Amino acid sequence: MLKLPDLSILVDCQTRWNSTKVMIDRFLIMKEAYRLTINSEDDLRQDCSLNNAQIEYIMNIQKIFTKFENITSWLSSQQYTTINKTIVLYNDLFTRTKLSKYYSRTDLTDVYACATMVDPSLKFSYWEEQDWETNIIEAQISQCKRSFSLFLTDYYAHELSTSDSSEALAFRVGTGKPTVSSSLVVIQHEY
DSSP H or E run through 76: helix 52-77
DSSP H or E run through 62: helix 52-77
What does the pLDDT read at residue 100?
A: 64
Q: How far is CA 72 from CA 16, 18, 153, 165, 185, in A?
A: 11, 8, 35, 50, 38
What does the pLDDT read at residue 95?
A: 67
Torsions phi, psi for 159 (to 5 deg)? -60, -45
Residues 6+ apart with CB under 8 A from 184: 145, 148, 149, 152
Q: How far is CA 184 from CA 4, 180, 188, in A?
A: 64, 6, 6
What does the pLDDT read at residue 136?
A: 83
**Separation of alpha carbons 16 and 21, rounded Å:** 10
Residues 6+ apart with CB under 8 A from 148: 114, 183, 184, 187
What does the pLDDT read at residue 190?
A: 47
8-state DSSP, 159: H
Residue spans of the chain under pLDDT 50: 165-166, 168-176, 178-191
Torsions phi, psi for 131 (to 5 deg)? 60, 40
Q: How far is CA 14 from CA 20, 72, 76, in A?
A: 8, 15, 17
